[in-house]
């Protein structure tokens, strides 16, 4: 399935690692670098979410597609799927319709999450316009820092530590090198969506 676009609709902008926990991990006892550390923490979080295809803290996403999936199953980007809010589609009369929840099944247990046609149901006819299908859903481990798996939080701290020690582009460490242990910590939480 080719995704037309994926947008974050609601995000409280909280980070899955507290600044004081990060400073403790890095053994930083002063406040001079707090702004830099917060920016690096945001960048490391975004990178790790993309690297693992996760949503750490709960966010609402909107996935837009041009058509129903050929295999009758939506595989949703960002793990874990918490809930499906709505599926809106543009019908052949160019009118927006909301698909009844009885027409589909949301699988929040699988990773990545998926949506399939309900038993003996069929996706309705669509407009041929781009972005005719809009799936709104919530993904994430929860609203609190403690909800995010410790391995992922530790991977973020390793990445920020690496960035903190290697701030200049003239570093002798190759740009593509990640800190030791980063891959291992992320591996069991890394999901591929086609």
From CA 60, how far away is CA 16, in angstroms rounded? 16
Q: According to DSSP H, which parts of the chain are helical?
A: 19-26, 34-52, 150-165, 182-187
For 171, residues 6+ apart whose C-beta sits below 8 A from its C-beta are none
> Which pLDDT score, from 0 to 100, does residue 1 have?
47
Q: How far is CA 69 from CA 54, 81, 97, in A?
A: 22, 18, 18
Evaluate whether the domain defined by 14-56+144-187 bears CATH number 1.10.3230.30.
yes
Q: Taking Cα atoms as reference points, which of 163, 193, 136 lies closest to residue 26?
A: 163
> Which pLDDT score, from 0 to 100, does residue 167 have?
76
Helix (H, G, I), strand (E, B) or coil at 29: coil
Measured in whole angstroms, the distance separating CA 104 from the mean position of its chain's CA atoms is: 22
What does 151-184 look like in DSSP terms, one character per residue? HHHHHHHHHHHHHHH--STT-SS-TT---TTHHH
> Which pLDDT score, from 0 to 100, does residue 146 have?
95
From CA 16, how far away is CA 49, in angstroms rounded? 11
Q: How far is CA 51 from CA 7, 32, 46, 85, 193, in A?
A: 17, 30, 9, 25, 12
Tens digit of pLDDT at every position of the chain (194 positions): 455 788 999 887 899 999 999 999 999 999 999 999 999 999 999 999 999 999 999 999 999 999 999 889 999 999 999 999 999 999 999 999 999 999 999 999 999 999 999 999 999 999 999 999 999 999 999 999 999 999 999 999 999 999 898 777 654 545 456 677 899 999 999 998 76
φ/ψ of 34, rounded to 5, equals -60, -45
Domain boundaries, the chain: 14-56+144-187, 59-139
> Which pLDDT score, from 0 to 100, does residue 99 have?
96
């Amino acid at each position: 399935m080719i995704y037309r676009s994926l947008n974050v609709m609601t995000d409280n902008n909280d980070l899955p690692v507290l600044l004081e926990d990060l400073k403790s991990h890095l053994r930083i006892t002063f406040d001079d670098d707090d702004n830099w550390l917060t920016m690096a923490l945001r960048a490391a979080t975004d990178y790790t979410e993309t690297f693992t295809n996760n949503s750490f803290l709960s966010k609402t996403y909107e996935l837009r597609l041009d058509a129903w999936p050929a295999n009758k199953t939506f595989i949703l980007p960002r793990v874990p799927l918490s809930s499906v809010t709505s599926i809106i589609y543009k019908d052949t009369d160019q009118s927006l319709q909301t698909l009844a929840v009885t027409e589909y099944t949301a699988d929040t247990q699988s990773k990545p999450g998926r949506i399939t046609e309900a038993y003996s149901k069929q996706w309705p006819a669509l407009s041929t316009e781009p972005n005719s299908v809009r799936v709104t859903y919530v993904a994430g481990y929860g609203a609190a820092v403690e909800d995010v798996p410790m391995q992922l939080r530790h991977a973020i701290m390793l990445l920020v530590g690496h960035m903190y020690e290697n701030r200049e582009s003239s570093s002798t460490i190759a740009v593509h090198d990640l800190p030791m242990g980063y891959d291992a910590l992320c591996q069991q939480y890394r999901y591929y969506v086609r």
